[in-house]
C-alpha cells in the first residue's frame, strides 16, 4: 500500500497528463483527453481520505501510462485538419 501523494506530486501528475494530452495529433482525441483529465482531477480534488487518495493516485498513474502510449501512437499517423481547428497552428 503506497502512502498518500503530496500536493506537489498530484500537481506534477496533472502537468504530465496535460502535456501528454497536448501531443495528440488528432484533434478529437486531444480535446477528449484534455477534457477528461480536467474533469477527473477536479472531481477528485475534494478527496481527503488518505487511503482513497492513494488508490486514485495509483489509478491515475496507470492511466497516464496508457495516455503516453496512445499519444505516441497518435503521432505516428497524420490526420486531416478539422474545420474547427486553428489553421496557423505553430
Which residues of the chain form contacts with another protein (CB under 8 A)? 7-8, 11-12, 14-15, 18-19, 22, 38, 41-42, 45
Least gap, CB of 56 to another protein (angstroms): 14
Closer CB to another protein, 14 or 24, in the complex: 14
Question: In sequence order, which residues have a C-beta less than 8 Å from that of residue 20 and are 6 or more positions away?
Answer: 33, 64, 67, 68, 71
CB of 69 to another protein, least distance (A): 20
Give the span between the Cα atoms of 25 and 20, in whole angstroms: 11
Q: Which is nearer to another protein, 2 or 46 (CB)?
A: 46
Tell me how far, at minimum, the Cβ of 14 lies from another protein, in Å. Answer: 5
Q: How far is CA 70 from CA 5, 11, 22, 25, 83, in A?
A: 25, 22, 12, 11, 24
Helix axes of 27-44 and 7-22: crossing angle, nearest 10 degrees: 170
Q: Which is nearer to another protein, 31 or 80 (CB)?
A: 31
Amino acid at each position: 500500500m503506497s502512502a498518500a501523494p503530496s500536493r506537489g506530486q498530484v500537481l506534477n501528475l496533472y502537468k504530465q497528463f496535460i502535456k501528454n494530452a497536448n501531443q495528440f495529433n488528432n484533434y478529437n482525441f486531444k480535446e477528449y483527453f484534455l477534457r477528461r483529465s480536467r474533469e477527473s482531477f477536479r472531481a477528485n480534488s475534494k478527496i481527503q481520505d488518505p487511503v482513497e487518495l492513494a488508490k486514485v493516485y495509483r489509478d491515475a498513474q496507470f492511466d497516464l501510462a496508457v495516455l503516453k502510449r496512445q499519444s505516441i501512437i497518435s503521432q505516428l499517423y497524420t490526420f486531416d485538419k478539422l474545420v474547427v481547428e486553428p489553421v496557423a497552428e505553430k
